[in-house]
Structures are given as C-alpha cells and as structure tokens.
C-alpha cells in the first residue's frame, strides 16, 4: 500500500472532514483486510460504512438513554416472572412489542410497593429507547414539583412542551403521597395534553377504586382516569413484594417453628 500512501492520507482526511470518524478510524484495518480477502468494491464500501452507521446508532441510543433519566437500567429480560405468577405476562409481552407507543396508548401498572412496577416500566422504557423512541422517566412528585417551579418562573408553556416531547413518558409512584389541589391540576394538564398524542406508563400503589384518596377532588381524579384509561392496558401485580421476599421466607420459617416448638428453627436464620 506504500504507493497509495498520499491517497490514503487524503481519503482519511475526507472521512474526517465528512465527520465519519468511526470509518476513518477503521479505514486502515479494512484496507488491510481487503487486501487479504479481496471483497467486491460494493462489499468493501458496505462494510466500511456499516462501521459508521453502527457507531452513529450507538451514539444516538446512548444519548436517548442519558436523556431518559432512568434511575437504573435493568432490562426487561431480567424480570423474574416466576416471582409474580399472577402477572399477565401476555400483556407485558404485548406492551414489549411497543405497538402501544405507535397507537398513543397507555399502560397502568398497579401494585403494592416492591412488586416490580418500576422495574417493569423501565424494562419497557429501555425497549423503547432501543427501538429509537424518545422516552422520559419522572416520578409523579417530581413532575408536580417541576411544573410548580416552572409556573413560578414563568415557564409554563416551555415545561408543558417538555412533558409533551417524549413519545413515551413514564410517571412513577403516583399515590405514595396525596396530591394537593394545584398538584392534581398540573398532573391533569400533562395527561390531557398527551392524550392521543403520546404514551404514558404510569405506576401506582393504589387500585383505581382508591384514586379518590390520591386526589383532593373526585372530578379531577375522574377526568385523569378517563383520559388515561381510554386507550390503556391495565396490569395489576398482586403478588408479594420482591424486595421483601427473602425476609418473608425467614419470617415464615420462624412462624412455623414457633407454631411447632419441636421443630428446630432453620440454621442461618438471622436477618440480613
Ligand atoms: P415497585 O416499583 O413496585 O415498588 P421495584 O420495581 O422497585 O418495585 O422492585 C423492587 C426491587 O425488587 C428492585 O430492586 C427490583 O429490581 C426487584 N424486583 C422486583 N420485582 C422483580 C422481578 N419480578 N424480577 C426481578 N427483580 C424484581
Ligand atoms: Mg417503584
């Protein structure tokens, strides 16, 4: 390749100027390999540009992931369905196809603390990121606080556009704290603006019948539910808390041995 050296340098310069940095990096390696394997011109160029396309895809995915603000990145594939036999897995699989984002539908995940609502929501969010959708994670409390601050700072429109921006908005932990009048209204505005416009996955520890206790006003509660549920999958997780399950096993053992004093308590029974 020695005779080609000036041409090589120029080519590398072209790639850099066109901002094809990944292809520029791999140029020498690909040329060397091509000399050994003699691919067609098309195959050679295809392989080189493929490097650039892959690098661009990865950069964009990393960007979407950073902007999504997930508190962790546990993939849906790691979810232990055996721990929640009552969970409608078919519905989760259906959501994982992400069709619901294209139809601007919602998903409501309902269950007690620790049953895996946030984990499922993030697992689905990660799938959406991989598929190229813009996703944003927030808690209900954070959404309300940020909206209140925006109003205070005269940035209501900008903030409403922000909440409307992602194709999938995850609103986590509704119902852990009761909402004040204003807070309920902010949530109502965010949900109404997104209605038939973008998807929401909302997690809550309150069954729908209990929503009156989250909101100060049943009219607002009903209006929010109407919009959320019009096109929605509702997933209820009734099983035990995953977080507590190791402790629970110990508690059950202890209870059994207390009920039957002839049975020795299990070894290593200390709580950890
Ligand atoms: P929730 O949001 O319902 O309170 P989380 O999703 O935060 O519950 O789950 C609590 C903890 O238990 C997390 O560390 C989570 O990764 C884990 N977890 C819960 N359910 C499962 C599950 N089915 N498979 C694997 N890990 C789970
Ligand atoms: Mg949670």
The minimum-distance atom of ligand 1 relative to the CA of 79 is 24
pLDDT, position 179: 87
Alpha helices in 106-168 (DSSP H): 117-130, 140-152, 156-164
pLDDT, position 272: 31
| Whole-structure pTM value | 0.86
Is residue 83 within 8 A of residue 245, CB to CB? The reply is yes
C-alpha of residue 232 to centroid of ligand 1, in Å: 22
Q: Whose CA is nearest to atom 9 of ligand 1?
A: 116
Is residue 129 within 8 A of residue 65, CB to CB? The reply is yes
CA proximity to 140, closest of 194, 89, 176: 176
Beta strands in 46-130 (DSSP E): 106-111
**Residue 18 DSSP class:** T
More confident residue, 250 or 94: 94
Confidence of residue 263 (pLDDT cuts 50, 70, 90): low
The minimum-distance atom of ligand 1 relative to the CA of 80 is 24
Q: Whose CA is nearest to atom 11 of ligand 1?
A: 243
Q: Which residues have any ligand 1 atom within 6 Å of their CB? A: 74, 79-80, 83-84, 111, 113-119, 242-243
pLDDT, position 266: 46
Residue 37 token pair? 């394997």
Alpha helices in 97-230 (DSSP H): 99-102, 117-130, 140-152, 156-164, 181-194, 211-214, 218-230
Confidence of residue 265 (pLDDT cuts 50, 70, 90): very low
The minimum-distance atom of ligand 1 relative to the CA of 205 is 3
pLDDT, position 259: 73
pLDDT, position 248: 67
C-alpha of residue 140 to centroid of ligand 1, in Å: 18
The answer for residues whose C-beta is within 8 angstroms of residue 271's C-beta and 6 or more apart is 247, 250
Q: What percent of the chain has pLDDT over 70?
A: 92
Per-residue CA distances from 103 to 26, 42, 95, 122, 196 (Å): 41, 39, 11, 20, 8
Strand, helix or coil at 171? strand
Q: Rounded CA gap, 199 and 131, in Å? A: 15
Summarize pLDDT for 137-182 with one digit per residue, the tens.
Answer: 999 999 999 999 999 999 999 999 999 999 999 999 999 888 888 9
CA angle 6, 10, 16 (to 5 degrees): 145
The minimum-distance atom of ligand 1 relative to the CA of 74 is 16
Please determine, for residue 271, whether its predicted confidence score (pLDDT) is greater than 60. no
Ligand nearest to the CA of 80: 1
Ligand nearest to the CA of 139: 2
pLDDT, position 240: 82
Is residue 194 within 8 A of residue 162, CB to CB? The reply is no
C-alpha of residue 49 to centroid of ligand 1, in Å: 41
Is residue 179 within 8 A of residue 214, CB to CB? The reply is yes
Residue 248 token pair? 């629970």
Instruction: State mean pLDDT over 240-261.
Output: 71
Please determine, for residue 223, whether its predicted confidence score (pLDDT) is greater than 70. yes
C-alpha of residue 168 to centroid of ligand 2, in Å: 17
Instruction: State mean pLDDT over 188-192.
Output: 95
7 CA to centre of own chain = 47
pLDDT, position 269: 35
């Amino acid at each position: 390749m020695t005779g080609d050296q000036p041409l090589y340098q120029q080519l590398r310069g072209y790639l850099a100027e066109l901002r094809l940095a990944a292809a520029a990096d791999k140029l020498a390696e690909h040329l060397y390999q091509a000399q050994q394997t003699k691919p067609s011109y098309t195959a050679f160029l295809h392989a080189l540009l493929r490097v650039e396309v892959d690098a661009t895809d990865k950069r964009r995915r990393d960007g979407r992931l950073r902007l999504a603000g997930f508190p962790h990145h546990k993939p849906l594939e790691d979810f232990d369905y055996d721990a929640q036999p009552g969970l409608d897995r078919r519905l989760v699989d259906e959501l994982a196809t992400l069709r619901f984002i294209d139809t601007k539908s919602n998903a409501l995940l309902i269950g007690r603390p620790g049953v895996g609502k946030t984990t499922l929501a993030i697992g689905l969010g990660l799938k959406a990121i991989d598929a190229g959708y813009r996703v944003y994670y927030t808690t209900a409390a954070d959404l309300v606080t940020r909206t209140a601050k925006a109003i205070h700072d005269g940035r209501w429109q900008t903030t409403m556009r922000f909440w409307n921006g992602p194709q999938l908005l995850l609103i986590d932990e509704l119902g852990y704290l009761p909402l004040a009048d204003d807070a309920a209204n902010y949530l109502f505005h965010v949900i109404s603006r997104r209605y038939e416009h973008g998807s929401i996955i909302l997690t809550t520890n309150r069954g729908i019948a209990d929503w009156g206790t989250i909101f100060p006003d049943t009219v607002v509660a009903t209006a929010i539910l109407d919009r959320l549920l019009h096109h929605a999958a509702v997933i209820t997780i009734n099983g035990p808390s995953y977080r507590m399950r190791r402790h629970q096993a110990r508690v059950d053992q202890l209870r059994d041995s207390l009920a039957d004093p002839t049975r020795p308590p299990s070894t290593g029974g200390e709580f950890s």
